[in-house]
Amino acid sequence: MSGPRFLVILLAGLLIAPLVTATEGRAPPQCAEFDLSDVVTTSSGVAVDPGACIIIDIGVRSHTTTLAIDIEVLDDAMDVLMFDQNSIQTYQNGQNYRSSFNQEATFESMVGSQWLDWAPPQSINPKNWYIVFDNSAHDGDEGMGDQGGMTARFKIQLAPASVEDYPLIHDTFKLEAGERVNLVDFNVDSGTELTYWVHPLAGSGDIFIQSDNQLAGDLIISGTNIDDFGGQETTQLEWEISEFLNLQNLNLIVEAGSTGAHFTLKAWFDPILAPTVTDYDNSTTTIGEKITLDASNTPNSLQQVRSLSWDFDSDGLEDAVGNLVEASWSTPGMKNVNLTAESQSGAVTVTTYQIEVLDVVSPTAVITGTGGSLDLNGDRRLLRLSDLILQASNSDDDHAIASASWSVDGEQASSASQFTVSWSEIGTYTVTLTVTDPSGNSAQTNTTIVVYDDTEPILVTSSISDISEVEMGEKVEFQAKAADEWDDQDDLRFTWDLNLERDSNGDGDATNDPDFVGPNLEISFDEAGKAKFAVTVYDQSNNSDFEIFEVLVTEPPSQTGLFAIIAVVFAVIIVVSGVVLFGYKGVQRRHAIELLMVRGLSRDEATSRVYEISRSIKLPAFAKAAQMAGITDGAEVKSAAELQSDAKSAEFNAIYGESQNTDPNAGFRPAPTVRRVDPALAEAALAAFADEPEMPAVVNSSPSPSTGKVRSGGVALPQQQTQASNHSLSSQCSACGKPFSVQIPSSVRSAVVACPHCGTDQLFER
């Protein structure tokens, strides 16, 4: 709006309250248009003539902003209509606009004052909104609302409404008679306060809260209702969400009365600020052990908590921030943990949580001392009658050392941190230190104190020095003695080092090795020459005296005569053993011959068998008679007659065959007699063959039959001699095993000849 026009309107309102004159006829209304800033400063109001209208541009508004609107209509009633940028065209075109204006922010036939808090309907984009003051009979009003009359004036104030920190709803609503509407649902932490007020514009109704399972009926949550609001008074209610409704979905319901309900409603929360500590270790921990503390359960459904800070030792200093933290303590006891929550509005609430810190670790006892010395084993050495100051000050604990106590060889001696000891008697003493922390945990340690004297023993070696020469291999005894002012003889100990070039105990000294322990040493030397050894004496305090000795080791007398005697003795033993061995063999040989004779052999046969076995078989030096006779393995022993019989049977079978050539009349003939052949005859026969080779015995000659007979054990001699060539055949006796040969004429195919050694018949064949 230009400046001159604004001045004209202002002067008209202040001086003469000029009238807004409508155009004549039923044409679309010609409304004057103003910006909001053009009319809000008018103190006496802006006049609108009958049949006229004013359109006020209130600007682009979003549904996120609630507007506080104050309207006053003076002198005569007018229609106060709210349009957006789209629906205003319907009004301006003279069309039916009753379904186009915003019902909640529209007042028809209004006279007097009204205030309301109104938020534009939700839309994707903000819209431009207009308020129309209509003092005419508009073509599109369907005869409803104000139809003109006399001049009316209006005043208007419009600005964003005040906003609470945690709003729930803030708007104007218009309901038909008996209509019930769920204005908004919500779920918040228990302990949160909900405040709402209702400002009636027209009609009346009830406001209350229901849970989800109450929506289908008339039950409501007790203490949440404003009943029968109406008139011009604003009614306010405050209600705290109870524990059983924590984070439960709730609904704010309005139900219009019989005449409908037109009202402005504002509801907001005052959220609870209650920081909550969750401890996963049962409110207990130990010194130095970290514990996790969680503030995630702090009520924050409305995002009311801006920050959380922790103070672990109640010193007012921030030790950690955030929902999840870790804490530890270096001392035992009950610890107060302060959790501070700060809201978005700057409000602060502190919650104190207690943690018990336990000391479960025992202290470490440590003994330190002044005086004496430490040996290689870690024991303390203290000279008798000297003082040793023992201290417990270096003992350690994860908290503190509350007390210390000392005992000597199990006897309580002191409860001070520092303890002085001294002894007049030498020996080994055990000192025990016990330390305790304030929580009652205790620990012990001990130290061994060796009390010694400083008097040194003196070796008395006259008995050793008197022995200057010994014979090699001869045992000799050395005796060591010593004297000591403090220690008794029984408390002294002696060691002997027999090899002064070898350090067997590895202490760097090759002359003090304890190759032998004791006051008396019995030894023999294996090598001639000078031999050195050392002896050391120690007292109970390990004071010592030491001395090296040397002896001459000589060779013993010659042993040649002894060796000769030994050689003679061995020779005699060998001879005697031979005699015994030969005598033993002779006896066993006679027994062997007797055993064979018992089994049917003649003495000559038995003797021949025994000697033959001794030559052909390797017998043990002390073979028994059975072994010499060859009967230990169950072998069959046969006499010469039995062997001859077996040979003749073999010969008969070889010549005549066995069963198939047997005479069928043999069963009716008398049994033949077996004659024993005299071995002398066999020898004579063999000699005859040897002397007259051209006249051998012939049996079964095919060219000319012989009239001789074959006798067992002998040779059949032919009665007629023929001139023929001879063949020499050699074999071994099947009975005694000895070889022999025989001359057989070429015309003879086989012959039976007696063995010249044992007389057993033998079959020869070509």
Place domain 278-358 in its CATH homologous superfamily.
Immunoglobulins (2.60.40.10)
CATH topology of domain 167-269: Jelly Rolls (2.60.120)
| Residue 685 pLDDT | 43
Do residues 452 and 428 touch, judged by C-beta distance below 8 A?
A: no
Q: Identify the band that residue 81 occupies on the pLDDT scale cut at 50, 70 and 90.
A: very high
pLDDT in tens, 321-333: 999 999 999 999 9
Specify whether domain 458-554 bears CATH 3.90.550.10.
no
- Asked if residue 714 has pLDDT above 70, the reply is no
For CA atoms 622, 624, 628, 632, give the dihedral sign.
negative
The neighbouring-strand residues paired with 496 are: 516, 535
Q: Could you give the CA distance from residue 755 to residue 753 in angstroms, rounded to a whole number? A: 7
| Residue 375 pLDDT | 80
Q: Which of 260-274, 310-324, 744-758 is predicted least confidently?
A: 744-758
Q: Where are the domains of the chain?
A: 3-160, 167-269, 278-358, 368-452, 458-554, 560-629, 640-662+672-765
Q: Could you give the CA distance from residue 343 to residue 350 in angstroms, rounded to a whole number? A: 12
- Asked if residue 672 has pLDDT above 60, the reply is no
Q: Tokens 């209610």 belong to which residue?
A: 237
- Asked if residue 756 has pLDDT above 50, the reply is yes
Q: Could you give the CA distance from residue 359 to residue 443 in angstroms, rounded to a whole number? A: 14
The radius of gyration computed from the CA coordinates of the chain, to the nearest angstrom, equals 74
Q: Identify the band that residue 720 occupies on the pLDDT scale cut at 50, 70 and 90.
A: very low
Extract the tokens encoding 16.
């003469």
| Residue 260 pLDDT | 95
- Asked if residue 668 has pLDDT above 50, the reply is no
Q: Could you give the CA distance from residue 746 to residue 728 in angstroms, rounded to a whole number? A: 10
Task: Taking residues 132-151, report their average pLDDT.
Answer: 91
| Residue 569 pLDDT | 62
Do residues 294 and 339 touch, judged by C-beta distance below 8 A?
A: no
What lies within 8 Å, CB to CB, of 468 at 6+ separation is 551, 552
* Residue 537 exposed, middle or buried by CB count within 10 Å (0-12, 13-18, 19+): buried
- Asked if residue 1 has pLDDT above 60, the reply is no
Residues, the chain: 766
Q: Could you give the CA distance from residue 270 to residue 247 in angstroms, rounded to a whole number? A: 15
Q: Could you give the CA distance from residue 607 to residue 612 in angstroms, rounded to a whole number? A: 8
Q: Exposure pattern of 173-199 as b/e (b: 16+ CB <10 Å)? A: bbbeeeeeeebeebebbbbbebebbbb
Q: Could you give the CA distance from residue 175 to residue 247 in angstroms, rounded to a whole number? A: 30
Q: Could you give the CA distance from residue 422 to residue 430 in angstroms, rounded to a whole number? A: 13
pLDDT in tens, 440-466: 999 999 999 989 888 888 988 878 888
For residues 405 and 565, the model is more confident at 405
Q: At what angle do helices 603-616 and 560-598 cross, to 10 degrees?
A: 130
- Asked if residue 26 has pLDDT above 70, the reply is no
Tell me which architecture the domain covering 368-452 has in CATH: Sandwich (2.60)
The three-class DSSP label of residue 105 is: coil
Task: Taking residues 741-763, report their average pLDDT.
Answer: 74
Extract the tokens encoding 166.
């945690």
Rounded to 5 degrees, φ, ψ at 666 are: -65, -25
Q: Identify the band that residue 584 occupies on the pLDDT scale cut at 50, 70 and 90.
A: confident
Q: Tokens 């359960």 belong to which residue?
A: 297
Q: Could you give the CA distance from residue 325 to residue 307 in angstroms, rounded to a whole number? A: 14
If residue 606 lies in a helix (H) or strand (E), which one and from where to where? helix 603-616
| Residue 760 pLDDT | 77
Write down the pTM of the prediction.
Answer: 0.54
Report percent pLDDT > 70 for the chain. Answer: 80
| Residue 575 pLDDT | 59
Do residues 97 and 87 touch, judged by C-beta distance below 8 A?
A: yes
- Asked if residue 709 has pLDDT above 50, the reply is no
For residues 376 and 268, the model is more confident at 268
Tell me the C-alpha to C-alpha distance, in Å, between residue 111 and each of 80, 83, 85, 233, 657.
10, 20, 26, 18, 172
Do residues 622 and 581 touch, judged by C-beta distance below 8 A?
A: yes
Largest CA distance in the chain: 210
Extract the tokens encoding 401.
């050392």
Quick one: which of 259, 72, 33, 253 has its CA closest to 158? 72
For residues 148 and 180, the model is more confident at 180
Most confident of 292-296, 390-394, 420-424: 292-296
pLDDT in tens, 171-184: 999 999 999 999 99
The three-class DSSP label of residue 526 is: coil
| Residue 747 pLDDT | 65
The three-class DSSP label of residue 547 is: strand
Task: Taking residues 464-469, report their average pLDDT.
Answer: 83
If residue 640 lies in a helix (H) or strand (E), which one and from where to where? helix 640-656
Q: Which of 340-344, 387-391, 405-409, 667-671 is predicted least confidently?
A: 667-671
Q: Identify the band that residue 582 occupies on the pLDDT scale cut at 50, 70 and 90.
A: low
| Residue 293 pLDDT | 94
Q: Could you give the CA distance from residue 331 to residue 322 in angstroms, rounded to a whole number? A: 25
For residues 711 and 528, the model is more confident at 528
CATH topology of domain 3-160: Jelly Rolls (2.60.120)
